[in-house]
Chains A and B, each alone.
Chain A
């Protein structure tokens, strides 16, 4: 049972969060806490704070708020990013005229979208979601576009000699051939979106983990600030490791790219 569970979460050949690495991290942290009096201990201070945080309804609400905004924002990123990328990949004219916009959007860090978002949407939930969208959509468009346009020549030739053309060629050859690129874009977009979410919440007042960061920093609670940052990091690592990195691993394996 445990083995089945482990093989599902961590398929063979896939490495994620080695236990030794966690031990080293905790060890170094505790060493720093022991050497400098101002630095809170992970085990004796940070973990108890996180435990009491999770018992607190207000905190849980903030966490759920962040998750909700991320889910909405990321869904939009997926839809518009993949949709736009396919459009660019299929229509060379659109790509030439508008493709540079995707690149331009992608070149602006998520945090830099916050002022414009606030200007347009005010201190609202929409402003944060808009920040996530623009912080992460560019990379999905660029990667999808590349994947759609760059079908490996051997795949293209084989498909053409077997009579694949038109819609069928697109659907049964171009789309699957583009999947590794699209997955790569989606994985990066998750990381960019998560950063944009924090920046958005930090600078607006709609709640969420980002805003909590602001509050504990203002009241100079170093231990609480570190606990929050640790939590943000853990969520980032878990979502990437359990969903995106794993998906990418499986796709690369099957597509023969590793």
Chain B
């Protein structure tokens, strides 16, 4: 399925006035494509995910799935949230079965399918554990398995690995790519990490700080498996960081209330950093 976001505006009420979060955003994710949304903290990336998922409605503009407007949430468009958002009262197995239960799949079939996806994310040994007994990385694996059991045509990932340590993140990124190559869902992956975006995506949309606008789209024509030190990736990262340098500065200014200057040389430092992490 193809996702089209066309000239979308969105604002939220805040302290009695409306704050513009998205300003004239248009983007497209083609069927089976892996696209990253990259932007600084608070640029409205998550709002784009919520709009496509049908959890929010745009003020203006339209969200189309294969040409049809989004009417509300639908199990063909599943979200993996940053905080995993597991149901604490259900076991790992119960969580992974949840979506199938809601869509009315009989017990035996949904159990078989849940176990299959739990094997895929290497959690077969933990099916009876409760979320509070799991590490952050394991919770995210459960969240991914829970989303995949619904065999969604569109998988929306909202900074799914942002809270994880570097090693766990790298492992999960590789597993996500393997899963994507198996089933080829359309993927929209939100991140504020430049290296993550260039390492994963076919295409990267670079978004400005609030109100979020698309600054640029960068096609990453590097065959997979990709190597972190591939000079082509580094070139892409360099270019994106150049585009974002001013934006990150804007975020810092807004949050700290003073002017923070980023020297040009900053871009030469290893780009595996999260935008805004200096805050």
Contact = CB atoms under 8 A, between A and B. Distances in A.
A and B assemble together: yes
Contacts of A173: 87
A161 B88 contact: no
A253 B131 CA distance: 10
B98 A162 contact: yes
Interface string B94-109: 0000110111000000
B171 to A, nearest CB: 23
Bin chain B's interface residue count: 20 to 34
B132 A158 contact: no
Contacts of B130: 254
B131 A256 contact: yes
Interface in B96-151: 98-99, 101-103, 130-132, 146-147, 150
B205 interface: no
Contact of B102 (A154, A157, A168, A253): A168
B88 A254 contact: yes
Contacts of B132: 253-256
B241 to A, nearest CB: 31
Contacts, number: 73
A161 B75 contact: yes
A255 B89 contact: yes
Given A157-B79, A160-B55, A163-B99, A176 B150 contact: no
A158 B89 CA distance: 14
A161 B131 contact: no
B98 A172 contact: yes
Contacts of B131: 256
B77 interface: yes
A179 B90 CA distance: 13
A154 B73 contact: no
Interface of B: 50, 53-55, 72-75, 77-79, 81, 83, 85-90, 98-99, 101-103, 130-132, 146-147, 150
Interface of A: 154-155, 157-165, 168-169, 172-173, 176-177, 179, 253-256
Given A157-B53, A161-B78, A163-B75, 8 more contacts: A157-B50, A157-B81, A158-B85, A161-B75, A162-B98, A163-B102, A176-B89, A254-B89
22 contacts: A154-B83, A154-B85, A155-B85, A155-B87, A157-B50, A157-B85, A158-B86, A158-B87, A161-B54, A161-B77, A162-B78, A162-B150, A163-B150, A168-B101, A168-B102, A172-B101, A172-B102, A179-B89, A254-B89, A254-B130, A254-B132, A255-B89
